[in-house]
Amino acid sequence: MDILTTVFIAFGLAMDAFAVSLGVGTGSTQPNRRSMVRLAFHFGLFQGLMTLLGWLAGSTISHWIASVDHWIAFGLLLFVGINMIRSGFGSSSELHAADPTRGGMMVMLSVATSIDAAAVGLSLAFIETPIWRAVTLIAVITFGLSLFGLVFGRKLGEKLGSRMEIVGGLVLVGIGLRIVLEHLGV
């Protein structure tokens, strides 16, 4: 597979991470630079690792991944999205939902946005693509788009206020629904 095709695949895979980053950036707990780099790094890392895992798994577990991946992603995104929406309706003095740039919440978002990368990795194994180039491009492009989404989302959040967290939560729920609907062929 040529490098341009790999770049297009990487951009396609990074779109969910970009959209989630945009939502996180608009939240009322405005991430600082370090938090933004940490989340973008984890999105890129998980995207690359899931691609590698899919490639390593080959065809032995593909039927397991395909049957549940969309439900796992939907559940994780729904959970985080609902927490963001609830937090957005709370008063500004309330304690907001868990910081999505740290700990378990960050891991959940990283997994939710990278499950499809395992399926891509599986297909890359079938067409005998040089995996290290693909994994590196996927990770770097995801990192860059995630960072851009966080920065742009933060600017939106500053201009439009803490209620943007509701919009961010709705974006996450929408991404989860899209994943399930695409899988169901709707």
pLDDT digits (tens, 9 = 90+) for 46-84: 999 999 998 888 656 656 656 776 787 677 777 777 876
Query: Which residue is associated with the tokens 């770097």?
Result: 140
Number of C-beta neighbours around residue 112 at 10 A:
26
Percent with pLDDT over 70 in the chain: 81
| DSSP-derived 3-state class of residue 30 | coil
* pTM of the predicted model over 0.85: no
Q: What is the pLDDT of residue 94?
A: 44
Q: Cβ neighbours of residue 130 under 8 Å, at least 6 residues apart?
A: none
Number of domains in the chain: 1
Residue 57 has which token pair?
A: 């798994």
Structure confidence by residue, pLDDT tens digits, 99-108: 788 888 889 8
> For residues 87 and 157, is the Cβ–Cβ distance under 8 A?
no
pLDDT of residue 122: 78
pLDDT at 29: 66
Amino acid at 117: A
User: Of the given ranges (151-155, 164-168, 178-182), which has the lowest mean pLDDT?
Assistant: 164-168
pLDDT value for 161: 61
Alpha helices in the chain (DSSP H): 3-26, 33-57, 62-89, 103-126, 131-160, 164-184
User: Does the structure show a pLDDT above 80 at 109?
Assistant: yes
Cβ(22)–Cβ(168) below 8 Å:
yes
pLDDT (tens digit, 9 = 90+) per residue, 14-44? Answer: 888 888 888 888 775 667 889 899 999 999 9
Q: pLDDT confidence of 144, banded at 50, 70, 90?
A: very high
Q: What is the span of the domain harbouring residue 113?
A: 3-184
Supply the pLDDT for residue 138: 95
Contacts of 42 (CB under 8 A, 6+ apart): 106, 107, 110
Are the C-beta atoms of 41 and 110 separated by less than 8 Å? no
In the structure, what pLDDT confidence band is assigned to residue 120 with cuts at 50, 70 and 90?
confident
CA 69 to CA 110: how far, in whole Å?
Answer: 14
Residues 66-99 as b/e (b if ≥16 CB within 10 A, e otherwise) read eeebbeebbebbbbbbebbbebbeeeeeeebbbe
Which comes out higher in pLDDT, residue 174 or 168? 174
